[in-house]
Chains A and B, each alone.
Chain A
Amino acid sequence: MRASADGRKGRRIIGRLAVIVDPKCPVSPDIDRIDFELFKSALFAAADEMAVTVCRTTYSGVLRDNMDFSTSIADPEGDVVAQGLTLPMHLGSVRTALAALLARYDSDMGEDDVFVLNDPFEGGMHLPDIFMFKPVFVDGERAGFACCTAHQTDIGGRVPGSNAADSTEIYQEGLRIPPTKLQEGGVPNDTLWRMIERNVRVPVQVFGDLRAQLAACAIGEQEIRAQVARYGLDSARAMMREMLDYTERMTRAALRPLPDGEYDFEDWIDDDGVDFGRPVRLFVTVRKSGERIAFDWTGSAPQVRGAINATLSVTRATSFTAIRSILPSDIPNNDGTFRVVEVSAPAGTIANMELPGACAARGLTGFRMLDCAFGALAKMAPDRVCAASDGGNVGVSVGGYRADRTPFIYVDFTCGTWGGRPFSDGLEGSSNILANMAAQSVEVSEHENPVEILGNELVTDACGAGRFRGGAPFYREYRMREEEAVVQVRSDRQTHRPYGLYGGRPGAPGEVVLNPGREARALPSKVTMNCRRGDVVRWVLPGGGGWGDPLERDPQCVLRDVRNELVSPAAAERDYGVIVDTERWQVDEVATERLRAQRRAARGGHRAPFVSRDDEA
């Protein structure tokens, strides 16, 4: 099995490998490279296997379809060495949670203990996310942790689904669980289970999902044990450390060629859902130097009253996702990256909240921080970064009681529009890069919940124009079928549209409308309201921003968009200077050339701005 030739280990650092090996982090000579590759594959496969288990056994749409959970394996010190291919927004959050756990229980944990926590002020992100950890012991020594974080359908609090954007303190948002034993030595902690049961609206679902998390942790534990049995505890620990070093080396190698410098960007969240109409500023400064990069969120707004405050772990995960998305895709997902990616935000800001900040809808801020971080990175790596996306998912919760007083909660998160890219159009109908969420089936939703979904279709003339246009957004429309329901919508980018880059135009703003075609009341982006049977709620995603000068777009692509009714003939002429013959489905090339020449001349020497946030004056 051991393949390396002992006498020649020094020669490993030669050729093109030599340049990527950092002197502070050399390839460990004690580790067999082939054993290491096998060990690494085994732990990542185990983390994925844990995730598959959650998907297959969960009871809630949020987990099974939106995949709002993550799984990982950590070393005995609490660094994640392998994260499953799950929710990017959880990346880097597990170590924060583990650190909180170890601060309390480092010396007080044993075999078959299972720990949980959800308190954002002690390791958590927001209350619905329950972090679960199972320490793994071999011969009395801690060999690692199996970890599973999952968004629960409900965790109590004032609004069904525990997601409201308009709570103003954490105490309104549900049950806060500090690091605690859910099970000790294999024996369930009945007190805690009963406390959870009494505080959530749908205990059957929540218990089902906790069991799914337990099953995932059991699988992670098995695999850690199998690997330790195979290589021995010392070797396994050394290889776990090498997994972190390996990721660090790859991240450094990928960062080095990017240009050094300081790049900043600002953007605004429409408002916090409490102080309507008051924009919330996001500001990031990215400092790139050699093999390191730092995201500094100083300049972002002080924390707000509404529930969109982020913990530092959210800010971290988002910053990391931004840089990770423009680096090569073969860097393993683990905490090794954080050794070279530094993230900071002053306490008491929207990017690093303090007690008693409310944070249930912090996901929104995460998505918007990603757009903001991409804006800064677009200055550093113009050929790799897209224009603004839809700004994240629209979250809808419909909750209440049926005539027989049984509760129902329908939670739907949907996103799907990318900004135009330097090499290609923005995608439509594809999840945001921060959350690889699947859409819930319309038919299953209607079968299980008292709602009817009247439509879910792409919208014409809403994508930002550009050489590579933004993705076309879609709308969704729900009709309420129960007598009464509390409906809560969390969305954004109604007043601050998805920006275009390098001459690309901004995408259309998002919309939320009550009873379209009847009273057609426009609603703000974040709203909690009572609805009655027959009421219809419609939302439209914001359109993706465009990338590059629309006059440089291939007229054949414009023709295809017109034929597919994503762009109207009038918009083709207005935005792209393309005249389409809709009888024969051809571009009128002569007229198009003439019109484009006129448009260019009219601009004079004026160069397109780096970023466009609104229609031209």
Chain B
Amino acid sequence: MLRYRAGIDIGGTFTDIVLLDPGGGVISKKVMSSAEDYALAIARGLEALFSESGVAPDAIVEIMHGTTVASNAVLERNGARVGLITSRGFRDVLELRDLRMPRLYDLTWEKPPALVERYLRVTVDERVNAAGEVVHPLDPEDARRALRRLRDDGVEALAVCLINSYANPRHERLVAEAAEELAPALPCCTSFDVLPEIKEYERTSTTVVNAYVLPIVGRYLFSLRDRIDARGVDAPVLIMQSNGGLTPAAQAASRPVDIIESGPAAGVVGARAVARRSGVQDVISFDMGGTTAKASLIENGEYTRTRAYSVGGGIITGSRLLSGGGYLLGVPAIDLAEVGAGGGSILWIDSGGSLQAGPKSAGAFPGPACYGLGGEAPTVTDANVVLGYLNPFFLCGGELKIDAGRSRRALESKVAEPLGLEIEHAAWAARQVAIANMIRAIRAVSSERGRDPRSYELFAFGGNGALFAAGMAAELGMTRVIVPPAAGLFSAFGLLYADIEHHYSRTVRRLLRDSDPEEVEALYRELEVLADAQLASAGFDADRRRCERSAMLHYKGQIYELEVRVAAGRIDRGALERLAEDFGREHARTYGHRAGDDEPVELVTVQVLGRGLSEEPRVPDSLSLSARDPERGSRRAYHGRGYGWMDTPVLPRSALAGGVDGPCIVEEYDSTCLVPPGVRAELDPAGNLLLSL
């Protein structure tokens, strides 16, 4: 019997399921998501797949899952009723946040409401100082008083975050012990366990989000297990974390804060793996759907990670300069930048007379005008229909009907007429404006970090990624684009490439030159022991457990740190000196300057990444997709002023094997790829579409 691994990705509209056999055979299924219980759509989708393909439930050996259930709980604010215990004098850390707003000059700004209302935030009389010394001891009776109060108020989960607990967790432990005794059924998250790092707001917010989504994630994972068990699937479920690594479902249930950005991370994991196999180490992944576009940088074959990000802040509309939207999380995540631009983005003209695309989106309903579901406003997708890039009759292999006349009418009356442009010029302009928006996401992860996008390849996927990839690359001066197979389902696919990963970190905050190498070594060892034990418990043998060290460093006085890899081997004085030098070089590379050698470098955080290695490559090099190729043909498409309207061949991907010069359009079940004139397209042995500009 063939054994299958399953990748399952839940999105806002669709749930995608991909089954992969060891020989590279792929079976896929797209079903509508079920918001009332996401597990239901998965069970239904699997059932449909089993009956269509004849795959037996017990042939599935492993399920890799990317889910938005945790982020949705925050976005929709339907998480648990949490009680928060803080130090005396600091009841409002969660609510005061960092005081900043994500917008300037906006008197209508409303702060995101605190996830724990003030009356459920209770203080205990205690104090630990910055050195970790107990200045004012905590009376356990005081902790019990606080806990009783919250219990009587009917909280469903507890979060504990005391000032300076990163330096000494004793008092948080005391509170947790009292909770265990008074309310053993209540989940209790202490900040030292969730995020043992300096900065009280970041730590409090992270701990609270963990407690807030914990019951809902737990229930979801339980329901998922239950439903797939009932269908005879007994494979273990692994959940994608925001950091790009997988974790067993049980671990995700106890640290759900790690899986908030589970969905978007999966695509980047896939992009890294697929690009690496094609021998490409430096890519920018570009994931464009209906409402948002996301970009992420992969450098030397590795993701870039961020140590803090916000969830639920709405869409980041450009600069990352302004914080204050959403809920801050201090956990490692793949660094993504997101802008509100997608196929559904609405086109409009601002009061200065400039054409704009988004951030308002027509969404899935009523959707673009061409869907004929009542949407009147022209969207980016309508522009693509007018330009002849999208099939004028249907999408998704016929499952979605298109009315090109509606696109034309909407665009004519709302864009072309007011701007005094021919309709094709208006549609072209709309596309260029959308591209200008999305470029901000790419700049945020590249040039804002001192990286030149021209030295990267663009890896495009998502429902609209392939349609815009060449246009984006041209604007950015990038010369190579990769469009993977099943680009529209790629996030589900990406899950299949992921490894098990766990991150551990500890705040140090000491000058490198004053640090005791022994002590630093001991700290790393301590974290490695934790990581190792966790991998062992997930069933990895000793030779398949790998730990990597890194450090967060800055010049003393700076607030932002740069991450530097720490070479393997025991840490001695020389290793610390090399670390300072590596940091200086990284600083110069990122910001164009470094300080003199006499300027002290501070070791802020030590970090260990534990990785469970698979016995064999998790995905074969060549895949065979059950392709639903469209008819070959051609249609008129507009390619800008230089080229005008051209007869443009419409081809299946397989027709590009020998290389084709643009213009052409590659139509597939899950997405459409545009190859503009002057661009050459070919297929690599793994089935990736490569565009050369």
Q: Chain A interface (Cβ within 8 Å of chain B)?
A: 1-5, 8-17, 20-21, 27, 33-34, 36-38, 40-41, 44-45, 48-49, 51-53, 55-61, 64-65, 67, 84-86, 88, 204-205, 208, 211, 214-215, 218-219, 246-247, 249-250, 253-254, 321, 324-331, 333, 384-386, 414-416, 421, 423-424, 427-431, 433, 436-439, 441-444, 446-448, 452, 454-458, 474, 477, 563-566
Contacts and interface: CB of A to CB of B under 8 A. Distances in A.
22 contacts: A3-B429, A3-B432, A5-B422, A15-B417, A20-B351, A41-B436, A45-B439, A45-B443, A57-B560, A59-B556, A85-B104, A218-B592, A321-B105, A416-B96, A427-B110, A429-B99, A431-B101, A437-B100, A446-B130, A446-B164, A448-B557, A457-B91
B96 A249 contact: no
A34 to B, nearest CB: 5
B72 interface: no
Contacts of A254: 351
Given A65-B559, A436-B101, 5 more contacts: A34-B432, A250-B350, A324-B105, A429-B95, A429-B99
B418 interface: yes
Interface stretch (B317-325, B488-496, B567-575, B606-614): B317-325
Nearest to A60: B557
B355 interface: yes
A84 B200 CA distance: 29
B105 to A, nearest CB: 5
Contacts of B111: 427, 429-430
Contact of A57 (B101, B199, B318, B591): B591
Interface pairs A-B: 5 shortest CB-CB = A455-B89, A11-B420, A59-B557, A429-B96, A564-B118
Contacts of A330: 350-351
B589 interface: no
Interface string B624-648: 0000000000000000111000000
Interface string B112-153: 000001110000000001100000000000000000000000
A536 to B, nearest CB: 12
Contacts of B61: none
A430 B101 contact: yes
A53 to B, nearest CB: 6
Contact of B425 (A5, A329, A447): A5
A247 B426 CA distance: 23
Given A33-B355, A205-B557, A443-B163, A429 B97 contact: yes
Nearest to B437: A41
A88 B104 contact: yes
Interface in B390-433: 417-422, 425-426, 428-429, 432-433
B536 interface: no
B89 A215 contact: no
Given A208-B557, A437-B99, A442-B200, A85 B319 contact: yes
Contact of B595 (A16, A88, A211): A211
Nearest to A63: B559
Contacts, number: 268
B278 interface: no
Contact of A20 (B164, B353, B417, B443): B353
A456 B92 contact: yes
Contact of B118 (A38, A41, A414, A566): A566
A438 B593 contact: no
B557 A436 contact: no
Contacts of A56: 558, 560, 591
A55 B319 contact: no
B200 A443 contact: yes
Interface string B564-603: 0000000000000000000000010001110100010000
Given A429-B96, A441-B201, A36 B354 contact: yes
B352 A247 contact: yes
B440 interface: yes
Contacts of A10: 420
A44 B106 CA distance: 19
A328 B350 CA distance: 11
A564 B119 CA distance: 5
A4 B425 contact: yes
Contact of A564 (B117, B321, B587): B117
A2 B560 CA distance: 41
Contacts of A59: 555-558
A209 B418 CA distance: 48
Given A36-B354, A249-B353, A325 B106 contact: yes
B549 to A, nearest CB: 23
B107 A326 contact: yes
A430 B642 CA distance: 51
A457 B351 CA distance: 43
Contact of A38 (B353, B426, B436, B557): B436
A88 B425 contact: no
A2 B353 contact: no
